[in-house]
């Protein structure tokens, strides 16, 4: 059996480059402050959050009925609707659509769902040319990486590295790292891809039940460039993305971009209701573990997520360890409560990659109690026996010691002298992960109990 990589182990590689870690931390914090500025401009912000949360709770408690109505209305609009219970079925649907229309060249806009389903690799293995068109996603596609952030996929890379990647793949000048120059090169390269694409794949931000349409938000306009030129549009959507009414978009579009990057709205919010005349539009409704998560009382609220990424930008752990350390499609705090539901053993360390400071819950536009769910996942992980052997052992002994005052006194005294006498090398050995980048406090001469007995004797 493959060894499970812990969050701490995965973070180590990123932390080796101290300058980059610092930059990453500061950059994401800057995005967080932009979010604050945007939110504070609206006196009704908390009302919007409350409403967005309540609407999503309504959706989750009526999800089956709403999906049926949504499908009916979408079909009436001329959209073909397919259902996929897991990633494999989703990918198969896409494959069959592409085959049916003899598609060879595919342009994709950002979709975390297709990332979750491993669609790109699946299609590339079958010989398709799949081009991610979001600039950040194209960069990491060249670099054979996955997104490290759901809104800013290439935030882990510096412009110098992106310059090198573009030099290799697009023939830009060696050493050139001006963002304007690099973006222009990508623009020209991707324009050609847009013109030659036969199919466009997009994600879905919101599916509108009452009108059977869906909304896709971008700043680059790449989803639109793709879908309006290609003959076939395939939209891939997690079943939790529904909203009941068109007018609910007023709330969600006000919250989404402000929470994500501090913008008042993305520059393009596209509403698709019917295909272009003579063209095809498909919508795939994907489960892939969502119906299970719905059955977990403590964790079902995670399905309210609208994928703004605000919890990542604010998280002190995410900012300092980067998205790759989570080893999951959705990183950060929200990913740490979604991923254990998909594979508890693989993701067993994620609920512990948090200080439980609660900042994630504070910024969440749909009021998901993220930090409480992290705490609750810890109980599940421990009960399932997936916590590390060292921690299990430490907790067991800790329990015994805390339960016996005499043993506690004795060991306390021994530790105070032992820490003084033991060579540093031994104290900061491999077992002490805490001591890797921190010093232990100077051991006190006496315990509080001893001091109290001496000074406060009646």
Partner 1 sequence: MSSKNEMLDKIAKNKPPKNTLPELLSFGSGERKEWLEQFSASSALNGGTTIVVKSWEEIESYLKSKFDLDKQTVSLSPDLNGNLDIASILDPHDLEKVELAILEGTYGVAENAAIWMPEEKLAHRALPFIAQHLVVVLESKNLLPDMHEAYRKIDVAASDYGVFIAGPSKTADIEQSLVIGAHGPRSMTVFILDL
User: For residues 68-107, which are near partner 1 according to CB under 8 A?
Assistant: 68, 83-85, 89
Out of 6, 248, 330, 367, name the contact with partner 1 by CB under 8 A: 248
Nearer to partner 1, 275 or 332 (CB): 275
For the beta carbon of residue 357, count every other beta carbon within 10 angstroms: 14
Out of 8, 15, 176, 229, name the contact with partner 1 by CB under 8 A: 229
Helix or strand holding residue 319 (H, E): helix 316-321
User: Minimum CB separation from partner 1 for residue 94, in Å?
Assistant: 14
Nearer to partner 1, 155 or 353 (CB): 155
User: Minimum CB separation from partner 1 for residue 441, in Å?
Assistant: 38
User: Minimum CB separation from partner 1 for residue 307, in Å?
Assistant: 17
Nearer to partner 1, 12 or 96 (CB): 96
Cα–Cα distance, 422 to 37 (Å, whole number): 51
Nearer to partner 1, 115 or 224 (CB): 224
User: Minimum CB separation from partner 1 for residue 47, in Å?
Assistant: 7
Establish if 269 lies at the interface with partner 1 (CB under 8 A).
yes
Establish if 294 lies at the interface with partner 1 (CB under 8 A).
yes
Establish if 368 lies at the interface with partner 1 (CB under 8 A).
no
Establish if 164 lies at the interface with partner 1 (CB under 8 A).
no
Nearer to partner 1, 216 or 311 (CB): 216
Contact 303, 101 (CB under 8 A): no
Stretch that binds partner 1, among 239-247, 336-344, 345-353, 424-432 (CB under 8 A): 239-247
Establish if 376 lies at the interface with partner 1 (CB under 8 A).
no
Dig out the tokens for 201 from the structure.
């794949």
Out of 32, 108, 241, 254, name the contact with partner 1 by CB under 8 A: 254
Nearer to partner 1, 100 or 245 (CB): 245
Distances (CA, A) of 237 to 2, 184, 256: 31, 31, 17
387-426 residues in contact with partner 1 (CB under 8 A) are: none
Residue 453: helix, strand or coil by DSSP? Answer: helix
Nearer to partner 1, 266 or 329 (CB): 266
Out of 70, 128, 194, 326, name the contact with partner 1 by CB under 8 A: 194
Dig out the tokens for 262 from the structure.
């501090």
Instruction: Tabulate helix, strand, coil % of the chain (nearest 5).
Output: 55, 10, 35
Stretch that binds partner 1, among 96-104, 260-268, 339-347, 439-447 (CB under 8 A): 260-268
Q: What are phi and psi of 156, to 5 degrees?
A: -80, -10
Judged by CB under 8 A, the number of residues near partner 1 is: 93
By the 10 Å C-beta count (0-12 exposed, 13-18 middle, 19+ buried), 397 is classed as exposed
By the 10 Å C-beta count (0-12 exposed, 13-18 middle, 19+ buried), 377 is classed as buried
Stretch that binds partner 1, among 6-14, 213-221, 321-329, 364-372 (CB under 8 A): 213-221
Establish if 180 lies at the interface with partner 1 (CB under 8 A).
yes
121-140 residues in contact with partner 1 (CB under 8 A) are: 133-136, 139
18-77 residues in contact with partner 1 (CB under 8 A) are: 27, 30-31, 44, 47-48, 51, 54-55, 57-58, 60-64, 67-68
Establish if 208 lies at the interface with partner 1 (CB under 8 A).
yes
Establish if 153 lies at the interface with partner 1 (CB under 8 A).
yes
Residue 251: helix, strand or coil by DSSP? Answer: helix
Establish if 374 lies at the interface with partner 1 (CB under 8 A).
no
- Helix (DSSP H) and strand (DSSP E) numbers for the chain: 22, 10
Out of 20, 167, 169, 228, name the contact with partner 1 by CB under 8 A: 228
User: Minimum CB separation from partner 1 for residue 335, in Å?
Assistant: 20
User: Minimum CB separation from partner 1 for residue 452, in Å?
Assistant: 51
Establish if 183 lies at the interface with partner 1 (CB under 8 A).
yes
Dig out the tokens for 399 from the structure.
């329990």
Out of 239, 311, 312, 370, name the contact with partner 1 by CB under 8 A: 239
For the beta carbon of residue 71, count every other beta carbon within 10 angstroms: 19
Q: What are phi and psi of 251, to 5 degrees?
A: -70, -50
Cα–Cα distance, 274 to 294 (Å, whole number): 30
Sign of dihedral through CA atoms 121, 126, 127, 131?
A: negative
Dig out the tokens for 418 from the structure.
């032992």
Contact 299, 290 (CB under 8 A): no
| DSSP code string of 187-239 | HHHHHHHHHH-SEEEE--SEEETTTTEEEEEESS-HHHHHHTTSSEEEEEEEG
Dig out the tokens for 165 from the structure.
């990647």
Nearer to partner 1, 101 or 228 (CB): 228
């Amino acid at each position: 059996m493959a060894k499970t990589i812990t969050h701490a182990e995965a973070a180590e590689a990123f932390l080796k480059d101290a300058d980059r870690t610092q930059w990453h931390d500061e950059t994401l914090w800057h995005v967080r402050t932009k979010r604050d500025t945007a939110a504070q401009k609206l006196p009704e912000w908390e009302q919007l959050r409350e409403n967005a949360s309540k609407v999503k709770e309504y959706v989750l408690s009526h999800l089956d009925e709403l999906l049926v109505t949504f499908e009916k209305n979408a079909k009436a609009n001329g959209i073909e609707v397919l259902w996929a219970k897991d990633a494999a079925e989703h990918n198969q649907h896409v494959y069959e659509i592409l085959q049916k229309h003899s598609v060879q060249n595919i342009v994709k806009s950002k979709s975390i769902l297709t990332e979750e389903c491993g669609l790109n690799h699946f299609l590339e293995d079958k010989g398709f040319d799949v081009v991610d068109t979001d600039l950040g996603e194209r960069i990491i596609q060249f670099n054979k990486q996955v997104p490290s952030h759901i809104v800013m996929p290439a935030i882990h890379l510096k412009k110098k590295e992106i310059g090198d990647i573009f030099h290799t793949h697009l023939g830009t000048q060696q050493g050139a790292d001006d963002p304007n120059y690099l973006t222009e090169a990508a623009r020209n390269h991707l324009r050609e891809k847009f013109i030659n694409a036969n199919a466009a794949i997009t994600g879905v931000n919101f599916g509108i039940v009452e009108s059977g349409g869906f909304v896709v938000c971008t700043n680059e306009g790449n989803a639109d460039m793709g879908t309006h030129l290609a003959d076939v549009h395939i939209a891939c959507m997690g079943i939790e993305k529904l909203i009941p009414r068109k007018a609910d978009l007023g709330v969600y579009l006000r919250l989404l971009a402000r929470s994500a990057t501090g913008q008042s709205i993305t520059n393009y919010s596209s509403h698709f209701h019917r295909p272009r005349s003579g063209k095809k539009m498909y919508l795939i409704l994907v489960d892939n573990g969502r119906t299970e998560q719905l059955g977990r009382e403590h964790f079902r609220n995670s399905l309210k997520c609208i994928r703004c990424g605000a919890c990542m930008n604010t998280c002190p752990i995410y900012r300092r360890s980067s998205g790759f350390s989570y080893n999951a499609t959705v990183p950060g705090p929200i990913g740490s409560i979604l991923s254990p539901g998909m594979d508890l053993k693989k993701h067993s360390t994620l609920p512990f990659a948090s200080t439980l400071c609660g900042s994630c819950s504070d910024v969440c536009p749909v009021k998901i109690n993220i930090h409480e769910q992290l705490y609750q996942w810890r109980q599940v992980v421990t009960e399932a026996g997936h916590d590390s052997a060292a921690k299990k052992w430490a907790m067991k002994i800790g329990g015994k010691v805390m339960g016996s005052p005499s043993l506690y006194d004795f060991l306390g005294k021994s530790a105070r002298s032992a820490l003084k006498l033991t060579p540093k090398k031994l104290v900061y050995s491999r077992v002490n992960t805490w001591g890797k980048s921190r010093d232990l406090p100077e051991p006190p001469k006496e315990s509080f109990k001893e001091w109290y007995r001496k000074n406060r004797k009646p």
